[in-house]
Structures are given as structure tokens and as C-alpha cells.
Structure 1
Amino acid sequence: MCAPERRAKLRGFFRACADRARIPWPSGAKRLNAGALAAAAVLWALRRLLELSSCWQWVLFWLVLGGLHLAWVHLTCLQLNMRSDYLVSWLLVSIAGLYYDFLVHVWRRQSWFQILWCHALLAEVLASFLAALLLKPKQEDSESMCRVCGHIVPGRDHHCVWINQCVGSHNHRAFLCFLLGLTVLSWSYACMVLSADLEFWTEMRCPPPVDGALYAAAGGIFTSLLLLGQVISISTMA
């Protein structure tokens, strides 16, 4: 089977799953956001696996497996020219889960400055993320059309599957602020947890806040690479 045929079958599979995600309603069945629900379910399963894995080797294994899964979804969305709220939901549910860890395990051991610093960063990340997500471009025929979402975006830079729309002149600044804030927040949270939980370094165990800190650190590496790519792209503009 050639690549276009495989892609067509895979695209049909995703569309069928999204179409069948419905709930009964008096006025007729309502379609659910299959991508958003699937991301929450997969993250819940990953979290349960991390909680059951007290050995750090297994924790790293599940985190690497989760990263490979995200890479596959990322490439699938771009290669199949399809839109999905899967990665948007993954990002928001991840932030919510780590904030829950912060409230349960972390904040009592931190200074007021660290607590205020993390909340200020969190507010900046959420505000810039919502701006990048909700700001809509003005349609202009002079601009090129995105092959993923089919929209015509002024000043288009690229299509970002993490906000499920193109990055252009309408949301470029918000997107950069989001990447910068999320990178700093991820590394700040990871450093707070890993520097305070000395048991991790002495016994090489991964209690709940530590596996979340490793997850945040990996996310910080990913967002820093995205930010670096954006900085290079801006610096090389004519």
C-alpha cells in the first residue's frame, strides 16, 4: 500500500472516531470534542502509570514513551493536513495536573516569593496562550493559504498544532510570550521540586511531585527549542 493510501485510511479512521463521539440529547445527539477527551484520557492513564512506578527507570521509560506519542500525534496532524484539539487539551490538562501537584505537595515547602513568582508566571502563560488561541486573523487574498487548516493568514509564520491554528501577525507576539513564559515556568517548577526533594537523589525513588517535575523539565526543553526556532526565524527575516 502506497503512502497516500495509508494516509487516506488513517485520516478516515480519525474522522470516524470523531464523528462517533456523541452523547444523547433531547434535541438530538451532540458531538463531543473527541480529540480533547482522548488527550485527557491518555494523560490520566500516563499519570496512573507514573504513580505505580516508584523506580526511576520505569518513570523515565513512561515519560519517553509519552514523548514519542506526542511526536507521533504532532507529525500525524501535519502530514495528514488535519486539525485537532488533542494537543491543545494535552497542554491545558498537563498544566492543571502539575498545578494540583503544586498545591498538594510543593507550596508548603516554598517561600512566599517563590509561590508568587510561580503564580505570576502561570497567569502570564494562560493569558498569552488564550490570546494566541483565540485571536483570529483577518482574511486577505494576498497571503498564502495554510495547507493544514485551509485559512489565509496575514504574515503567516507556521501552523502550530499546539494552539490549533496558524501563527501570524495577529497572534505572533502572544505566541512568543506564551513560549517564553511556559519555558521559564516549567524550569522554575522543576527546580523548585528537585532541589527540595532530596529523597529523590539519595534513594533514587520518584514520589508524585518528582515525576511531575521531570515531566515539566522535559516540557521546558521542548518549548525552549520552539522558542529558539522562533527567534532564529525572526532574526533571519528580510
Structure 2
Amino acid sequence: MRPADLAREHGISTQAIRNYERDGFLPPAERTPTGYRIYTESHAVSLRAYLALVAGYGHPTAGAAMTAVHADRLDDAIAQLDRGHAQLLRDRETLAAVREAVGHLTAGSATGTGLPVRPGARTVGEVAHRLGVTPATLRSWEAAGILTPARDRVTGHRRYLPADVRDAELAHLLRRGGYLLDHIATVLRQIRTAGGTGELTAALDGWQQRLTARGLAMLTASARLDDYLTLRPGVAQQA
């Protein structure tokens, strides 16, 4: 098979195929005496696995998983996928907590989002670590009106109270769902004022659909990767 043969199935360029091989996402290709690459069905199956992993887990995880497979580090490849599933589960749990909070808001109780947050103030670094983002990200959310942490009167440092941490959790959830900062700011203002939850409910419904789609894409990716692993020598012995 030629690079064009692999590329045609997925509507990508032949240069992309060469790049994927160079980066270790595909196994090395044999060469003709004149230097042309020769691809096989194994490469085609590998490409299907990689692109399915991209759709389910994103480019970084897909690339790390495939390079681990080609380096005969099967456990490392599986661990990459495990992290993706763990994040999906965390998103589902957070979404469920926010939905419960919406029910409280609708019933007239404006006590926060319902996410478990320990008492006491936290620093910007602690909140950033909790969410897996950078402090700069939290500051940008503050500039957009999403977060409103207090300031220490002596040091001037930001102090995130439990309600601020819950706001940050919700903002992070919606941001991963692809929502723009101004939309998230609107949602957070609604929660703070307990004035209607229509936009929030619509946003959560959309994110629920995205989670379902991601879960299905992960299932497809796992099947495609399994197809490829059955072609790899030595995989059965590792299993």
C-alpha cells in the first residue's frame, strides 16, 4: 500500500501519514530499493486505531498510547486510556452534582452547586491544582467575571472560599464542554442570584450529550486498538 492508499480512507493528506509514522503513531514502513515507503494492512489497522483514539481521548493521549504500543510498553498504553476513563467518570460525577444543585436552586435554595468542598479559604494555587489548570487560567476567569474571590487585607492574595471553589468547579466543567467564557459568566451570575436556571439546564444537557458521545467514541477506540494489538507479535503473551 502507498501513503495515498492509507490517506484516502480517512480524507487526510499523504504528508499526515508520513508525519504519523515519523512520530511513532504508526509502525515503521518498509522501503523499496528506490526509497519509497511500503505500507501493509497492519499500518492501515494502526491508523484506524490512532484516529479512533484521537476522537475518543484527544491527540496527546492517542499519540502517547500508540507510541507506547510501538515501544512494546503495553501497560503504559493502557494506563493512558485509564486516565481518560477516570476523567470521564469525574466529569460525570461533577455533572451529577451540578444537576442536583440546579434542583435545589429551582426549589429556591441558593446554597451553591452541591459539590463537596472542605471548609476554609484556599489559595489560587490550591484551587488550580484541584482542577488541573494553571493559576493564570483562574485569573483569566476572574477577569471575565466568572470568579470573584476575596483578597487578603494584609497580603492582597486571593482567598477562595467554598462558594468560590464550587464556582470554579462548575466553570471548569462548562469550559471542558466547549462553552465560551462570557456564557459561563452568565451561568455563574444566575447561580449567585438564584434567578432562573434555564441557561444552566440547557448547558448541562448539552454537556451530557458530549459526555455520552465521548464515552461511545472511547468504546470504538478501544475496539480499534484491540484490532491492532491482535496483529502485534508478542501481545498475546503480555496479556
TM-score of the pair, normalised by structure 2: 0.30
Higher relative contact order, chain-length normalized (CA < 8 Å, sep 6+): 2
TM-score of the pair, normalised by structure 1: 0.30
Q: Looking at CA atoms only, which structure, 1 or 2, has the larger radius of gyration?
A: 2
